[in-house]
Each structure stands twice: as C-alpha cells, then as structure tokens.
C-alpha cells in the first residue's frame, strides 16, 4: 500500500499565482469603506495552514487605505480569485 505525500509548501506556491500577482490583484480591489483604489501600505503573505484548508486561501493580504485609513484584509486563492474581503 502506497501513501500519498503532501507537496512541500514552496512547491505548492510555485505552481499557482505569484506574490507579485497577488499584490496586483489586491491593488485592483477598491477599499470597502470609501471605494478608492489608493493604498499606503499593502502586505502580502502566504496564508496560514488553517485558512488554506478552511477557505482555500493561498495569499493573505493586509491593506491600509491611503484615503480613509481603513485596515482591510483579503484572501486570494490559487486561481487569483478573492475568497473574502473585509
């Protein structure tokens, strides 16, 4: 009986969208409060294993709006779709 081994996380990230692509997707998302596209800070990190398993999120983005100062989070899956915003 053979058991399937999980791919290392680095291989998993390399086979889907890049960190730079995730940042471009995040910049294309309007602020949830003022609907502007100007951000003074965007942080893109790999998602936690819990978020990846539960939501299918690959990248976790934290953004600070440059107009109203709202802190918001985005979850981006391996296809480049936004899983959640808030």
Residue 77 backbone dihedrals phi, psi, to 5 degrees:
-90, 180
Enter the tokens of residue 27. Answer: 């910049």
Q: What is the pLDDT of residues 44-66, one digit of tens each?
A: 999 999 999 999 999 999 999 99
- Comparing C-alpha atoms, which of 65, 50, 40 is closest to residue 85? 65
Nearest residue to 68 via CA among 26, 35, 20, 44: 35
Is the Cβ–Cβ distance between 58 and 81 less than 8 Å?
no
* pLDDT tens digits, one per residue of 1-15: 555 555 555 445 446
Structural domains for the chain: 18-85 (2.20.25)
What pTM value is reported for the model?
0.78
């Amino acid at each position: 009986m053979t058991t399937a081994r999980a791919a290392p996380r680095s291989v998993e990230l390399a086979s889907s969208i890049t960190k730079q692509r995730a940042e471009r997707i995040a910049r294309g998302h309007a602020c949830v409060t003022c609907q502007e596209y100007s951000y003074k800070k965007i942080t893109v990190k790999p998602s936690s294993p819990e978020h990846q398993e539960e939501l299918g999120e690959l990248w976790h983005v934290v953004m600070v709006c440059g107009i109203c100062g709202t802190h918001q989070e985005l979850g981006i899956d391996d296809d480049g779709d936004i899983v959640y915003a808030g």
